[in-house]
Each structure stands twice: as C-alpha cells, then as structure tokens.
Amino acid sequence: MPKAKILIVDDDPDFVEYLRTVLESVEYKIVSAGNSDQGMLMLMREKPDLVVLDVIMSSILDGLNMSQRMADDPDLKHIPIVMVTSIANTDYLALFPTDESIHIDAFLTKPIAPAELIRQIARLAPATA
C-alpha cells in the first residue's frame, strides 16, 4: 500500500533535505515549501496527507500562522500537522503562545531523531489506498 504524501514547510533547505532523506527511505512521498505562503499554495496544489511545519520562517511565528490558516479552512483543517522547531533554543521562546489553542497534532524539537519523526508520521498519516 502506498505511503502518505508529506508536505514539509521549512525555510532551512538542509533540514528539508534531511527530512526528505529520512522520510523517502521509508517510502513517503515528499513535497516542500520554504514559508507559509508557499506552503498554503502547495497545500491546494498537492493535497498532502500530513504537513511537517516549522515555527520560525519568514516571520517569528510564521508556522503558527499557517496552522491557524489551515484550521480556519474547511478543506484543510482535517490535515494533521507535525510542528518542528528549535524555538526552545532561541530568544523567541517567550513569544510562543501557551495560553491559546494551537492547531497541531504533534510537536517535535530540533534536532529530531529519525525514529521519532517516522513514528509520529505513521501514527498521524496512515498508508493511503
């Protein structure tokens, strides 16, 4: 059975390539975007089964903004989001909202262990028919 299509939205091309290598090794199909605006376009065009989304991209909370845009869109709100970030290692941690509902299904801190990434994605994006 084919694996799910994953959209990676991250502005670090080396990290995107790392995720692509890890996920393609277990037969996921990968598409990518470098910021939330590109990510929203790719969502419409590619119809992924899951999104791996960075927090800090073209703005400090770019990824959170994208997750909110997805949650507000009836055609996109069902798509699981795995948020990945290194925000805990930055001065921006205080800006990360803790008192509101964040529309994500899993949260992983960079650097990400490949086995944990694969486990979370397998849990959220079962194989497609």
Chain segment 112-124, per-residue pLDDT in tens: 899 999 999 999 9
Walk me through the domains of the chain, giving residue ranges and CATH numbers.
5-124 (3.40.50.2300)
Range 12-37 average pLDDT: 95
C-alpha separations of 98 from 64, 86, 103, 106, 115 in Å: 12, 16, 12, 15, 27
pTM: 0.86
Chain segment 49-100, per-residue pLDDT in tens: 999 998 877 666 678 889 999 999 999 999 999 988 875 555 544 554 554 5
3-state secondary structure of 12: coil
